[in-house]
Amino acid sequence: VAGKLWGGRFTGGQDPIMTQYNESIYFDRIFYSQDIRGSIAYARANIKTGILTDHEFSEIERGLNIVLKEWQDDKFEIQPGADEDIHTANERRLGEVIGKDIAGKLHTGRSRNDQVATDMRLWLRDQLEKLEEYLVDLLKVIAARAENDIEHVMPGYTHLQRAQPIRWSQWLLMFGSFFAEDLQELRHLKARVNKSPLGCGALAGNPFNIDRDAIAMELGFDGLIMNSLAGVADRNFVVKTMQWGAALMMNMSRWAEDLIIYSSGEFAFIKLADAYSTGSSLMPQKKNPDSLELLRGKSGRVFGHMAGLMMSVKGIPSTYNKDLQESVEPMLDHVKTVGDSLQIATGVLSTLAVQHENMLKALTPDMLATDLADYLVRKGVPFRETHHISGQVVSLAEKEAKPMDQLSFEELQGVDKRFERNVMEVFDYQKSVEMRSAKGGTSKSAVMEQIEALKAALAGG
Ligand code: ARG
C-alpha cells in the first residue's frame, strides 16, 4: 500500500471504507504534543544505545519541534489516507522536514503500541490534574456555603417524606463527604496513570537496552509499567478513570436531582441563577433547571462509555489488538463531560439563592415526634415504649386535626403522665437540630467540625 508507513509487505490497495474505519487521526491528533515529547525523549535515550549520533538526535529534536509548531499554529496538514494516526502523521512530517535518512531511525525498537499507551497516559495525567482542580473548586464552594448558610434549617428526608429537621449545611456536607472521597480516589488514580510504558516495544521489550527509567524521568512519569506485555495491553488506567468518573457522576446526579426537587414551585427551597437556567419556547412563565437536568442526564452517558469500554476490553486476547483504539474516544468524551459537569456544578452551587423562609414553612411539628420520644427517654423510659407513646401523640393530633405542637399540655398528659410542663420545649426546630451534637450530626458545632474536616481533606493534595 503506497504511502503507508507499514506498507512494505502489502501489495493490493485498501478499501477506502477500511481506511476511514481504521484511522484515528481525527481524534488522536489531540495527542500531538504528547506524541512529540515522547518521541524526543525516546530519541534522546537512543544516543546511549548507539542508534543515534548526537547530531542525528539534534536533527530529530529540531524537526519534531518544527512539527510541534505546525500543530500549534494550526498549520499541520493531515494527508488523508496516509496519516492513519497521530504517530504516523508526526513521523511522516518529520521525514519531510529533516529528511528520511535520519527520521527513519526514530522508530527503532519502538512501536505505535507503546507509543499510543504513552501518549494516552501523558495526556490523561494532565487532564486528571485539571479535573482535580475543578473538583477541589466544587468542594471549596460546598465548604464555603456550608459555613455561610449555617443558620438555615430545612426538612431532612427519607423516602422523600419529611423526616427530621436538619441544617441545609448538613445536606451540603453530605455531598461534601461523597465528593471528598471521590477526590481521594482521584489522587490515587493520578499515581496509577502516571507510569511509563515507553520502551516496551510492540510487546516483547526493547532489544537495544534502552534506558526506560531515563525516558520515564524526562517525561515526568513516576516509574514504569514494568512488564512489556502489560505496557502495551493495559487500558485499565482508562477503565479505572471511567469507573472513577462514573462514581463521581452518580453522586453528582443525585445532587442534581435533589436540587431539581428543591427548586420546584412545590418546594421552592432554592432558586437557580439565571445563568444556569433556561426558559420555555412556549410557556413564558417557565424557568427550567436545565443545568441540573444535564448533570443528571450526562451521568448516563458517562456510565455508558464506561460499560462500553469494559465490553471492548474484556474479551481481547493478549496483548495489543486494534480494539484498544476504541478506548481513545470514550476517554476524551469522558474527560470533557466530567470536567464540564464539575464546573457547571460549581457555578450552580455558588450562584443559587436559598429561600430560607420556604424551608422553614416546610417544617412540620410531626417531624419532632422522635424528639418527643427522646424527651421521655431522658426521663428513663425505654425507647421502644417512648416510640409507641409518641406515636399515640401523633395519632391524637391527627384525630383532633391540629398540628402536634398545638395539643394542650393536658392532652399530652392524657397520653402519658410522665410528660411534664417543659415538654412543650420539644417543639422547637432549632433545639431539635442543636440536640444532634454528636460527631457528624446536624448541630452547629458538629457541622462546623465537618467543615473543618472537609477543608483539611482539600489541603491534603
Ligand atoms: N492508533 C492506534 C491506537 O490508538 C495505535 C496504533 C497501533 N496499531 C497497530 N496496528 N499496532 O491504538
Residue 19's pLDDT band (cuts 50, 70, 90)? very high
pLDDT recorded at residue 292:
98
CATH number of the domain that residue 399 is part of? 1.10.40.30
Residues 55, 264, 280, 395: which is the catalytic one?
280
* Contact 86 CB / ligand 1 (< 6 Å): no
State whether 383 and 295 are in the same domain. no
pLDDT digits (tens, 9 = 90+) for 283-339: 888 889 999 999 999 999 999 999 999 999 999 999 999 999 999 999 999 999 999
Does 190 sit in the ligand 1 pocket, CB within 6 Å? Answer: no
Both 139 and 91 in one domain: the answer is: no
Task: State how far the alpha carbon of 1 is from the alpha carbons of 4, 81, 91, 303, 382, in Å.
Answer: 6, 11, 17, 40, 86
Which of 186, 191, 362 has the alpha carbon at shortest distance from 268? Answer: 362
Average pLDDT over residues 26-50: 98
Q: Is the CB of 326 under 6 A from ligand 1?
A: no
Average pLDDT on 126-136 reads 98
Residue in 14, 107, 112, 319 to alter for ligand 1 test, most ligand atoms within 8 A of Cβ: 112
The pLDDT, as a whole number, for residue 139 is: 98
Say if residue 83 is in the same domain as residue 120.
Answer: no
Give the residue with greater pLDDT, 460 vs 385: 385
Domain count along the chain: 3
Percent of the chain past pLDDT 90, that is, above it, reads 94
User: In whole angstroms, what is the distance from residue 56 CA to residue 218 CA?
Assistant: 19
The C-alpha cell at 352 is 443559587
Check whether residue 185 and residue 48 sit in a common domain: no
Q: Ligand 1 in contact with 113 (CB < 6 A)?
A: yes
CATH number at residue 280: 1.20.200.10
In a domain, 433, yes or no: no
Instruction: Name the closest-CA residue to atom 12, ligand 1.
Output: 325
Q: Is the pLDDT of residue 3 over 70?
A: no
CA distance linking residue 363 with residue 216, whole number of Å: 59
Instruction: Please name the residue whose Cα sits nearest to atom 11 of ligand 1.
Output: 113
Report, as an integer, the average pLDDT of 351-371. 97
- Which one, of 188, 189, 344, lies nearest residue 252 by Cα? 344
User: If you count DSSP H runs as helices and E runs as strands, how many of each does the chain have, helices first?
Assistant: 19, 4
**Which are the contacts of 25, defined by CB distance < 8 A and separation ≥ 6?**
78, 83, 84, 85, 86, 88, 89
Domain check: are 126 and 64 in the same one?
Answer: no
Q: Is the CB of 152 under 6 A from ligand 1?
A: no
Tell me, what's the pLDDT at 437? 98
Supply the residue whose CA is at minimum distance from atom 6 of ligand 1.
Answer: 112
The verdict on residue 418 lying in a domain is yes
Q: Kindly indicate the confidence band of residue 2, based on its pLDDT and cuts at 50, 70 and 90.
A: low
Q: Are residues 374 and 357 in the same domain?
A: no
Residue 261 sits in the same domain as residue 406: no
207 C-alpha vs ligand 1 centroid, how far in Å?
A: 21
Q: How crowded is residue 85: how many other Cβ atoms within 10 Å of its Cβ?
A: 24
In a domain, 460, yes or no: no
CB 32 within 8 A of CB 71: yes
Residue 103 has pLDDT above 80, yes or no: yes
Specify the residue for cell string 444535564.
Answer: 294
Across the chain, mean pLDDT equals 96
Whether 118 lines ligand 1, by a CB cut-off of 6 Å, is no
Do 331 and 258 share a structural domain? yes
What average pLDDT does the segment 29-38 reach? 98
The confidence band for 70, taking pLDDT boundaries of 50, 70 and 90, is very high
Q: How far is the CA of 97 from the centre of ligand 1 (A)?
A: 24
Q: What is the distance in A from the centroid of ligand 1 to the CA of 23?
A: 9
* Mean pLDDT along residues 249-272: 98
Q: Which residues of 133-152 are buried (b: 16+ CB within 10 A; e: fewer)?
A: ebbbbbbebbbebbbeebeb
3-state secondary structure of 198: coil
Residue of 126, 127, 167 whose CA lies nearest to 147: 167
Which residue, 326, 361, 396, sits at the end of a domain?
361
> Using one digit for the tens of pLDDT, what is the confidence trace for 166-209?
999 999 999 999 999 999 999 999 999 999 999 999 999 999 99
Which of 91, 108, 125 delimits the end of a domain?
A: 108
**Smallest CA separation from ligand 1 atom 4, residue:** 325
> Do 289 and 279 contact (CB within 8 A), yes or no?
no
Q: Is residue 398 part of a domain?
A: yes
Q: Are both 125 and 103 inside the same structural domain? A: no
Q: 470533557: which residue's cell?
A: 336
Atom of ligand 1 at shortest distance to CA of 322? Answer: 12
The answer to whether residues 123 and 34 touch, using CB atoms and an 8 Å cutoff, is yes
Instruction: State the residue range of the domain holding 96.
Output: 7-108
For the CA of 113, the closest atom of ligand 1 is: 7
Residue 435 within any structural domain of the chain: no
Co-location of 226 and 344 in the same domain = yes
Residue 24: CB within 6 Å of ligand 1?
yes
The pLDDT confidence band at residue 126, using thresholds 50, 70 and 90, is very high
Residue 59 Cβ contacting ligand 1 at under 6 Å: no
328-357 burial code (b ≥16 CB/10 A, e <16): bbbbbbbbebbbebbebbbbbbeebebbbe
- Which pLDDT does position 4 carry in this prediction? 73
Q: What is the rounded distance in angstroms from the CA atom of residue 280 to the CA atom of residue 263?
A: 16
Q: Please indicate whether residue 112, judged by its CB atom, sits closer than 6 Å to ligand 1.
A: yes
Say if residue 104 is in the same domain as residue 11.
yes
* pLDDT attached to residue 461: 60
Ligand 1 atom index nearest CA of 6: 10
Specify whether 122 is located in the same domain as 240.
yes
DSSP helix/strand/coil, 219: coil
Instruction: Identify whether 159 is a catalytic site residue.
Output: yes
Q: How far is the CA of 322 from the centre of ligand 1 (A)?
A: 6
